[in-house]
Structure 1
Amino acid sequence: MKKDSILVERTFNVPASKVWSALTDISDMKQWYFDIEKFEPKVGFKFDFMGGPNEDTQYLHLCEVTEVIENEKLAYTWRYDNYPGNSLVCWQLIDRGEKTIVRLTHTDIPSLAEGSPDFSKENFSEGWNYILHTSLKEYLENDES
C-alpha cells in the first residue's frame, strides 16, 4: 500500500450479508455513515452528501460507484465540489462465516489535501478509524440492527 493511502481493518461479529446491507442500503447507511439521500450499489451511480469537521464547516462530497461485487467489494470515487483532487474509497469484505473482516482503503489522498487542510491524511485517518471502530461497530453489533 502506498504511503499516501489509508488502510483501516476490523473484524465484526456478523455475517458479510449484514455488513453489505450496512454499506449499501440507504436506510442502514443513514444510521451509521452519512445522511445520503440516494444510493444504489451499481457501477456508475453518482451520489453526494454533506459532511465536515463541525457544523460550521461542511463540504459537498461528490462520489461515483466504480466497482461492486455483492457481499465482497464496494468502491467509489470521493471528491469535493469546487475543490481539486479525486480519491478512491474501497470497502472489501472477507467472509469468515459468522464474522466478517472489513478492510477499508482510501487512496490518492494527497490530491485532495491541496484543496484544504481539512482534507489531510491525518484527518481522513481519524475519520475512517472512528467510522469503522465506533459508528459501524456500534451499528452492526447492536442486537436491534
Structure 2
Amino acid sequence: MNQTVKPDTQAIVVEEIFPHAPEVIWKVLTNGELIGRWLMAPKGFEAVVGTRFTFQTTPAGEWDGTIHCEVLEVVPNERLSYAWNGGHAGNVGYGAPLETVVTFSLARADQGTRLRLVHSGFVLPANETAYRKMGEGWKTVVKKLDQLVTDETSRQRPH
C-alpha cells in the first residue's frame, strides 16, 4: 500500500461577534474600497467565483510582495473564500512560498453576527514565519474591520 505522507498544516482561526447584521459585515468584506481600509487594497477584486485579484505587501528577497488570490466561494451574507498564494522558492522565512485559503463565515448570533475567519494551509515548518506573523496580523485586521463596520453603520444613520 502506497500512502503519501502529507506535510503538517496549520490554520489561523479568529472569531468575533459584531453587533451588526450579517449584511453589514458582508458589505465590508466584499467592497474593494472598504477592504483597502481594513486589510490591503485589492487589485481586481470582485466577489464572484473565479475572479483573480492581488494584494501588494512588503517584498522580501526574491519575492516581489504580490499575493495572488482567486475567489473560491461566495454565499452572500454567509461565506467568502479565496486562495491566498505568495512567496518565492528562493526565500526562507518571510516570503517563502505560501499556498493557503482565507475563509470568512458569517452566522447570526443573539448579539448580531459571528464572524469566523479561517486562514488555512500553512505548511510547517516552511511557513512558520508567515503563520506566526499572520496569526497576530489577522487579530489586528479583525479589530480594524470591527471599527470600520461601526464607522460605516454610524455614518448611514440619520442624525
TM-score class, shorter-chain normalisation, is 0.7 to 0.9
The match for 2:138 is: 128
The verdict on how the C-alpha distance between 1:19 and 1:28 changes in structure 2, with shifts beyond 3 A counting, is: same
Aligned to 1:92: 105
CA offset digits 1:39-74 (Å, max 9, x no partner): 111111100011249xxx971100001111000000
2:139 matches 1:139:
no
Conserved? CA contact 2:9–2:121, under 8 Å = no
Alignment of 1:16-31 (within 5 A): 16-31=22-37
Gaps of 5+ in 1: none
Distance in 1 (CA, whole Å) between partners of 2:23 and 2:58 is 29
Larger radius of gyration: 2
1:7 aligns with 13
- Tell me, yes or no, if the aligned pair for 1:68 and 1:74 is still in contact at 8 Å: yes
* Aligned amino acid, residue 130 of structure 1: T
SS of the aligned residue for 1:108 comes to strand
Q: Could you tell me which amino acid in structure 1 is paired with residue 139 of structure 2?
A: N
After superposing the two structures, state which structure 1 stretch, 30-39 or 71-80, moved more: 30-39
- CA-atom RMSD, angstroms? 2.6
Per-residue deviation at 1:27? 1.9
Indicate how the Cα distance of structure 1 residues 3 and 85 shifts in structure 2: closer, same or farther if over 3 A, else same: closer
Name the structure 2 match of 1:71. Answer: 77
Any idea what SS the aligned residue of 2:136 has? helix
Q: Secondary structure at the match of 2:81?
A: strand
Bigger shift: residues 13-22 or 97-106: 97-106
Using structure 1 for the length normalisation, give the TM-score: 0.83
- Tell me the equivalent position of 1:48: 54
1:39 to 42, 45, 62: 45
Alignment match, 1:101: 114
